[in-house]
Structure 1
Amino acid sequence: MAHSQDQSGFISIDCGISADSSYTDQTTGISYISDSTFIDTGVSKSVSPEYKTTKVEQQYWTLRSFPDGVKNCDALRPKQGKGNKYLIRARFLYANYDQNGTVPKFDLYIGAIKWDTVKLINESMTNTMELIHIPSSNYIFVCLVNSGYGTPFISALELKPLENSTYRAPSVSLALYERLDIGSQSNKSIRYKDDVYDRIWRPFNFVSYKITSTSLTVDANGHTPFYPPSSVMQTGVTTVNSSGPLEFNWLPDDPTSKFYVYMYFAEVEQLQPNQTREFNISHNDAHWDGPISPSYLYTTVAYSQYPVSGDKIDYTIYPTENSTLPPILNGLEVYTAVEMTQSPTDEQDVNAMMNIKSKYGLKRNWQGDPCESEDYLWEGLNCKYGGSDSLRIISLDLPLVG
């Protein structure tokens, strides 16, 4: 997979803009298109006029609302196809588009699997959800499910191809928990074009640690497959005391959640011959990785081989006996595992049904994976359930859905 500043393989959808329209975002340079070819249900809406300002990203100015049907799905078909790794991002801003003044709550699904619940704090608060996912079919269904707490809607939907050797987590997808540009010297997030994968890095600083930085490009002549932006890696934090540990932790809402952690390191100081920066990492007092000695202006990534869980997740980065300098941390990503427990419908069956749906203009309740569950079974289909293999369509009654 080639890596460059182009948008090859990107699917960038601004939900609710007029059919066949498109535009280029002035900040990122990303080209956005209408959702009209990805979904055939819902209604286009505009947010309240006070939200259509330069302070609000253009992708939030319109949305697609789903007052009808329990489940409504966008059908994405990335050109790289099944078996490849993608970052999928869904974004939401209510902005009192319906003049009801009541923020809804609803569920977000990837195929047959619940990804998360969309919870909006208030009408002006945005919500961005990301999932790293490997589809077993050429179609990826991103679905909103009405759970009885208001009308579902979506503002933007994006898909970006990733390097397959990154973010390895067997049999699960990875939902973003946090992504931090540590030591940032601005209050601005970093994304495309700085990040070739268009990950969004939030600026973050630890109060008790010291910022260190360089103006030189990091990874100018070589890259890890994770491709962190140079602007993220140019800054970091260290402890004030050279022998002191660098610590961080969080308290999961659910102690059974499984977390995958990715730490990014780069040396940003030109060390003298008598200087050494070397450290180990522990998780809940047990050795996790190391010793690590970051190269000057090159990225090293330390990441989970296995997920971690618990009431408190604690990491300590501490200098080795040989180190004369304190540990450094430049970037951090944390993901939670989304178990892919439901088998999808057989790929050939899905392709056949999507062709029938398109040819005959059938809409009814034909949303998402045709056989994913008996609750959302496409009307007129009979499917074979049971076993670990793909679900199969065993009969189709077209007159029922005509």
Structure 2
Amino acid sequence: MVVLLLVLSAPKASSYGRFQDLCIDCGAYSETPDTDKSYVLWQTDEKFIKTGDNKFLSTSHTQFQMNTLRFFPKGCKNCYTLPIYDADARYLFRAGFYYGNYDGLSNPPSFYLEIDGNLWANVTTSMSEEMIYYELLYVTKKSRVRVCLIRTMDSDVPIITSLEAYYIIDAYEWMDNTTALYLHSRINYGADTSVDPDKLKGNHWAISLASITSPSSKERQSIDSSAECYNRIWKSKEMSNYVNIHANYISHYYLLGENRPPWPVMGYAIQSQNLTDSIYLSIDFSPRTAVQAYFVLYFMDPISRLAQNQTSSVEIYIDNSKMAVTDIPNINSLSYNQFHVVSLFSVPVNGSSNVTISPAEGSTLAPLLNAIEVFSVIDVSEGGHLFKCSSVLFIISFHFLLILVT
């Protein structure tokens, strides 16, 4: 009973030094409270890794994690050990990278990122002033998770800026410990950059009803954490060839149901111009080619329609193959659960994929879509150990031997 009380009173970290949620500011010298999320404390990384060097960047980014990094000039494989809440638990892992020309060489590195020995991503950094994120949904096998950076070229020194782990419950339920989901995109359609996340912190959100059409797509990096219980990042995107709509009023509470989409996301949507038109989306999976994909589509009509006899339903196609049919609930229902989620798994994809949302027979309203998540599926059934230092060093040595010979 005592242990139970400790867990309930401190949901972010247990008395055993394990973390339900873990935010690491890599390279930082002191812990830092998150200015936007008062309950989040960004840890330094010294107790999670013993190799590498800290670097303070001569920048002043408002995203404070970008002001420091850890780099690894020695060794081919350097690993963080994360003491998370429990084994066999769903977690969202997110690694952030910002090169910032910290070494003055203007040579942003590329390297491998792995989790528990399984390839997570081929990280490619850049000279951009934006953070690059790689995200994975993963079912933990032990109460400790190893996240490793693997050097693939002698001239490329791995770096890392931030590392996050968030416990997820009652979401993405089909996923088991043999598969992981690598995020390609998570888009909040119909939204623009004019919504300030700081204004979403009140008890309710009220904005004027409008249909917005933009000449170009815009993106908002994130929404307020009080509306996003899983700490997902939703990129907002208006589309000029569709009607961009949003609600005049939505309650500031979680939408209870599958995957718990945040209320600001479901308050926006794109809608086709006419009843008979379809919505066409192109999904690029590069640099990956042949993959098994997982699509999650979210539907709710955010506009309060006056006519009570109107119905909305759509057919969903992937590369011209009909995959599903769903009704689209209307906000008039006044229920937190009135949204529909369509999960399509697994879908074979070769490089890119086309998603089409068409009006179903009998629908009296034009097709719409609120949001989409797109993942590729990674097989983690073998338990990892894909990259050994000796084999990587051999490849690097062989590569440079070929250069010398030629």
Q: Which of 11, 14, 27 is equivalent to 1:16?
A: 27
* Count of aligned pairs between the two proteins: 340
User: Which SS does the other structure have where 2:264 is aligned?
Assistant: helix
Q: In 2, Cα distance between the equivalents of 1:83 and 1:318?
A: 39
Equivalent AA in structure 2 for residue 42 of structure 1:
G
Q: Which of 258, 282, 285 is equivalent to 2:292?
A: 258
| Change in 2 beyond 3 A, CA 1:11/1:221 | closer
Equivalent AA in structure 2 for residue 223 of structure 1:
L
The match for 1:140 is 145
User: Which SS does the other structure have where 1:34 is aligned?
Assistant: coil
Provide Cα deviations, 1:247-302, integer angstroms capped at 9, x if missing partner: 11224334312211111111212231231111111112222111323242632111
Residue 278 in structure 1 maps to residue 313 in structure 2: yes
Note the aligned Cα RMSD (angstroms).
2.3
Q: In 1, Cα distance between the equivalents of 2:235 and 2:173?
A: 19
The match for 1:349 is none
| Change in 2 beyond 3 A, CA 1:66/1:300 | same
Equivalent AA in structure 2 for residue 106 of structure 1:
F
Instruction: Tell me the TM-score normalised to structure 1 length.
Output: 0.79
Equivalent AA in structure 2 for residue 286 of structure 1:
S
User: Which SS does the other structure have where 1:96 is aligned?
Assistant: coil
User: Which SS does the other structure have where 2:375 is aligned?
Assistant: strand
Does the Cα contact within 8 Å between 1:109 and 1:144 map onto a contact in 2? Answer: yes
The match for 1:244 is 277
Q: 1:307 deviation in Å?
A: 2.9
Q: Which of 299, 308, 329 is equivalent to 2:348?
A: 308
Q: 1:203 deviation in Å?
A: 1.1
Q: 1:151 deviation in Å?
A: 0.7
Equivalent AA in structure 2 for residue 270 of structure 1:
S
| Change in 2 beyond 3 A, CA 1:374/1:246 | closer
Q: In 1, Cα distance between the equivalents of 2:72 and 2:65?
A: 18
Provide Cα deviations, 1:286-329, integer angstroms capped at 9, x if missing partner: 22111323242632111113233124411111112211111111
| Change in 2 beyond 3 A, CA 1:373/1:184 | closer
| Change in 2 beyond 3 A, CA 1:221/1:118 | closer
Does the Cα contact within 8 Å between 2:292 and 2:349 map onto a contact in 1? Answer: yes
Residue 226 in structure 1 maps to residue 231 in structure 2: no
Q: In 2, Cα distance between the equivalents of 1:123 and 1:201?
A: 20
Does the Cα contact within 8 Å between 1:13 and 1:32 map onto a contact in 2? Answer: yes
Percent identity of equivalent pairs: 25
Equivalent AA in structure 2 for residue 162 of structure 1:
I
Equivalent AA in structure 1 for residue 33 of structure 2:
T
The correspondence of residues 82-93 of structure 1 with structure 2, limited to 5 A, is 82-93=87-98
Q: Which of 239, 263, 267 is equivalent to 2:301?
A: 267
Does the Cα contact within 8 Å between 2:170 and 2:259 map onto a contact in 1? Answer: no
Q: 1:113 deviation in Å?
A: 1.1
Q: 1:146 deviation in Å?
A: 0.7
Equivalent AA in structure 2 for residue 263 of structure 1:
L
Q: Which of 181, 184, 188 is equivalent to 1:181?
A: 188
Q: In 2, Cα distance between the equivalents of 1:164 and 1:174?
A: 16
| Change in 2 beyond 3 A, CA 1:311/1:98 | closer
Q: In 1, Cα distance between the equivalents of 2:257 and 2:342?
A: 11
The match for 1:193 is 226
The match for 1:60 is 66
Report the more deviating stretch, 70-79 or 157-166.
157-166
Equivalent AA in structure 2 for residue 259 of structure 1:
A
The match for 1:172 is 179
The match for 2:131 is 126
Gap runs ≥5 in structure 1: 345-371, 378-402
Q: Which of 374, 382, 385 is equivalent to 1:334?
A: 374
Q: 1:106 deviation in Å?
A: 0.9
Provide Cα deviations, 1:165-220, integer angstroms capped at 9, x if missing partner: 42534521111100111111324222423211110011112220001111322684
Q: 1:376 deviation in Å?
A: 4.4
Provide Cα deviations, 1:320-360, integer angstroms capped at 9, x if missing partner: 2211111111111101112215326xxxxxxxxxxxxxxxx
Q: In 2, Cα distance between the equivalents of 1:328 and 1:312?
A: 22
User: Which SS does the other structure have where 1:232 is aligned?
Assistant: helix
Q: In 1, Cα distance between the equivalents of 2:135 and 2:293?
A: 15
Q: In 1, Cα distance between the equivalents of 2:93 and 2:352?
A: 28
Gap runs ≥5 in structure 2: 1-6, 14-19, 194-218, 391-406
Does the Cα contact within 8 Å between 1:163 and 1:225 map onto a contact in 2? Answer: no
The match for 1:375 is 388
Equivalent AA in structure 2 for residue 208 of structure 1:
N
Residue 32 in structure 1 maps to residue 39 in structure 2: no
